Amino acid sequence: MNKLKEEYLQLRTDYLPLLNDITFGTELVSHKIQDLKRGKVADIYGLSAEHLLFSHPILAKILCKLFRLIWSTEHIPDGFKYIYLKPSGICSINQGQCSYITTLSHS
């Protein structure tokens, strides 16, 4: 069984870099939070970009630890997999018919 595992790990090294080779930290997460666009639709939990932008600076450190944990375990939590469509109320007229535009949101 160990031989099979070693073989698998050797083949897998070409797929993704190891966590030690990834250089993202709190500073990168903080910069990405600052790059978020304001005024976008909130997610299904009611969180918007403004919540992250105006949060306590320690949030970037917490998110960094979370992302590293996700990377090392190769498991995406179920709560990160939701998307939903929300009507925006904007009417798009096409060939004399009004159809409402929907917004796709990821959570």
Given a contact cutoff of 8 angstroms between Cβ atoms, the answer to whether 44 and 61 are in contact is no
Per-residue pLDDT of 58-104, as tens digits, reads 999 999 999 888 888 888 888 777 766 555 555 555 555 555 444 44
Given a contact cutoff of 8 angstroms between Cβ atoms, the answer to whether 88 and 104 are in contact is no
Contacts of 81 (CB under 8 A, 6+ apart): 107
The whole model's pTM is what?
0.58
Residue with the bigger pLDDT between 88 and 52: it is 52
Backbone region of residue 52 per phi and psi (left: phi > 0; alpha: psi in -120 to 50; beta: other values): alpha
Mean of the per-residue pLDDT values of the chain: 76
Phi and psi for 61 in degrees, rounded to 5?
-70, -40
Instruction: Report helix, strand or coil for 104.
Output: strand
